[in-house]
Structure 1
């Protein structure tokens, strides 16, 4: 058993010893199918604290010849699968965390040299009698050992992309690093499986898409292993029952990651919330808000407009295909938004090609990031949102019109003024505080048309539902009459109770009026 070659299973045992452990061992069944195939090159990218290292430790414990993990995996899901015994502790595993090597060196040459030295030492200790061609060249040593022993290697490389994140602009070093990985892994007979984890997908570099043999599984396309990206809804429901935590509140705080149609929860935050017995911003505390701010303050291609829309609770279209998989190459707002998906600040719906802020925890991080300047109209609208909601609930139409007018005029420089979609966005933003207790629906199918904005109360909330209809150059009364005439109340089929019908109109002089009526369904 070595440090890097065939390490033991102690790191995975720590996960099993933890008070909360979610069984993700069926990932092993997937990797077993890829052993010794052309698909045996797997690169998994997902945000920080989403279980990447745990999965790497799990695979190491299962495959490594340096330990006996049979008892460890008995009782876990993988033990029921065909092939469990066949592959258990049968491979020479090289497990590397690249961040550890990067942090101890100044240049990529030094880092590569240190990796070679560290792995080479373990190889010589394990196989001292092999007739090596050259003990200074790692690939030659691996070839010689495989020829002598006929035991294939599995490489598990954690934090593989750390150089692209911490040394963002050192392109020459990036290229040398990719060349090293290509030489180490590509088209090598000694490789049974290569499994890499990181935050970013593989860097696109022309011929240095070097490691293009890898099959990528990311936050924009994780199929068919999407369930291993984080906690599934079923897993979280069980935890909520066990720890007597309200599932609805947990969902609001930590759900929202749409990974190939599967609803994924942030594992770091869910575990913290269960163990502490309260909801808070646990995941976002693992990074300063400046990490988000530096990207959303860029104003490429109308990026700020899109950020405002998402803070207001909307989804925006995106094309992730041109993203260069780094943290410096931004040719459009789409590139920035795609990076934010990989960092965990946004989520992506592949079918509809839209992004949005996934949950309450991350939405608060966006608010933290815009409060320091440059976003004053947006911040002011958010700060006034509780007053606006209370005025609406109390039927104070005059105050509602005044506050919406202020928000509309203040944000006209960001969003088009005489545009109903822009007004809808402004109103959603102005009602920001309502997101705590309501689910917002834009253009919701209802009766004989589409209701502009519907605020549906969350379960166990005793506040009335809101239907908001917008008009330009007409009257607030006409807006309310349209709600009634077109049976927009029909959209609230799963709700019974009081509904506020809110009509908002604005004219050429940018004056806003409001009318509020009450109904019961």
Structure 2
């Protein structure tokens, strides 16, 4: 498919500001047809993972967006992505929210199904329902989405972010990646008072008990306490190629 961006300059406010009822634009059409695997890039960008790109394949006069590089370049040209040192990323929270909306669009295929489960995932976590959390993770694994390689830390991080996408309505979700260390931490810091914080650790080839122990050893609980939050579910998730997913949730009450 060739995506003709002639009207783009006349409709700049619409470009990438997708809503469920808004008109699809040229770049969205390209994503729908997965030109250059741009859909995969969008998932990684929403997960906070910089995406490598060569930004030299697009100009305002370009008539055809037929490669991944041209599509990402167009997003940079129009300010929807920032570019630095060979990578692109989503530059601010406002645009992040727009990209999050894209993940819930039909153009994202199986990814949309995961996003639709994210409210259920958040509720199960806050309820301490370990079996439900594990079942949702296993369901995602069984879908075998091609670009989510379970041997890759960044792909596992994408799974976690997708599973908990609805949590971003209530939390600032941070990602503390420890590349090569076999774990990744996710503090969920409440945007409003009255709801518990969540601290999640994802491990590979270890145990949920070890994940919970390591959460307690790090500084995230202090950060939570400084925000005045006392109730904190600690979530340990372990992935192993043989065991698949396991989950343990421990409720903690921080002292005053």
How much does 1:396 deviate?
A: 0.8
Of stretches 431-440 and 355-364 in structure 1, the one that deviates more from structure 2 is 355-364
The partner residue of 1:482 within 214, 218, 222 is 214
The residue number in structure 1 matching 2:102 is 366
Which residue of the partner structure matches residue 380 of structure 1? 113
Q: Is the 8 A contact 1:199 1:342 kept in 2?
A: no
Are residues 1:462 and 2:194 paired? yes
Tell me how far apart the structure 2 counterparts of residues 473 and 286 of structure 1 sit (CA, whole Å): 43
Matched residue, 1:328: 64
Among 58, 70, 82, the residue aligned to 1:348 = 82
1:289 correspondence with 2:130: no
Counterpart position of 1:310: 45
Task: Return 5+ residue gaps in structure 2 as ranges.
Answer: none
Conserved? CA contact 1:310–1:357, under 8 Å: no
- Secondary structure of the residue aligned to 2:150 is coil
The counterpart of 1:299, out of the listed 24, 28, 34, is: 34
1:65-84 superposed Cα distances (whole Å, 9 cap, x missing partner): xxxxxxxxxxxxxxxxxxxx
Residue 53 of structure 1: aligned partner = none
Written as runs of structure 1 = structure 2, the 5 A alignment for 1:244-263 is none
Contact 1:444 1:454 in 2 (8 A): no
Task: Tell me the CA shift for residue 164 of structure 1.
Answer: 6.6
The 8 Å contact of residues 184 and 203 in structure 2, kept in 1 or not, is answered as no
Q: CA deviation at 1:311?
A: 4.0
Number of equivalent positions: 241
- Under a length normalisation based on structure 1, what TM-score does the superposition of the two structures give? 0.41
> Separation in 2 of the partners of 1:470 and 1:426?
11
Give the drift of 1:292. 4.3
In the alignment, the residues of structure 1 paired with residue 199 and residue 243 of structure 2 have an alpha-carbon distance, to the nearest angstrom, of 22
8 A Cα contact 2:212 2:235, kept in partner: yes
Q: Separation in 1 of the partners of 2:41 and 2:226? A: 31
Superposed structure 1 runs of 4+ greater than 6 Å apart: none
2:185 and 2:201 in contact (8 A); partners too: yes
Distance (whole Å) between structure 1 residues aligned to residue 25 and residue 134 of structure 2: 35
Distance of aligned partners of 1:506 and 1:451 in 2 relative to their CA distance in 1, 3 Å threshold: closer
Which residue is 1:453 aligned to?
186
Shift in alpha-carbon separation, 1:164–1:329, aligned structure 2, 3 A: closer
Deviations for 1:339-387, whole angstroms, at most 9, x for unmatched residues?
A: 134446x33154784222753652354146x415xx3321111111111
Structure (1 or 2) with the larger CA radius of gyration: 1
SS in 1 for 2:175: strand
The whole-number CA distance in structure 1 between the counterparts of 2:168 and 2:63 is 31
Q: Residues of 2 paired with 1:494 and 1:412: CA distance?
A: 39
Higher relative contact order (CA 8 A, sep 6+): 2
Matched residue of 2:149: which SS?
coil
Distance 1:434 1:285 in 2: 20
- Local SS of the residue matching 1:463: coil
Take 1:357 and 1:510, find their aligned partners in 2: how far apart are those partners?
37
Q: Deviations over 1:23-42 (max 9, x none)?
A: xxxxxxxxxxxxxxxxxxxx
Shift, 1:388, TM fit? 0.6
Quote how far apart the aligned CAs of 1:289 are. Answer: 2.6
| Distance (whole Å) between structure 2 residues aligned to residue 410 and residue 354 of structure 1 | 28
Cα gap change, 1:505/1:285 in structure 2, threshold over 3 Å: closer, same or farther? closer
- After superposition, give the CA deviation of every residue in 1:181-238 in whole Å (9 maximum; x if it has no partner): xxxxxxxxxxxxxxxxx579xxxxxxxxxxxxxxxxxx9xxxxxxxxxxxxxxxxxxx
Q: Indicate if the aligned counterparts of 1:317 and 1:353 stay in contact, CA closer than 8 A.
A: yes
Kindly indicate whether residue 152 of structure 2 is the aligned counterpart of residue 398 of structure 1: no
Q: Could you state the TM-score of these two structures normalised by the residue count of structure 2?
A: 0.77
Alpha carbons 2:18, 2:102 under 8 Å: kept = no
1:165 is the counterpart of 2:9: no
Q: CA RMSD in A?
A: 3.5
Relative to structure 1, the CA distance from residue 293 to residue 352 in structure 2 (aligned partners, 3 Å threshold; closer, same or farther) is: closer
Unaligned 5+ segments in structure 1 are 1-162, 169-197, 201-218, 220-265, 269-281
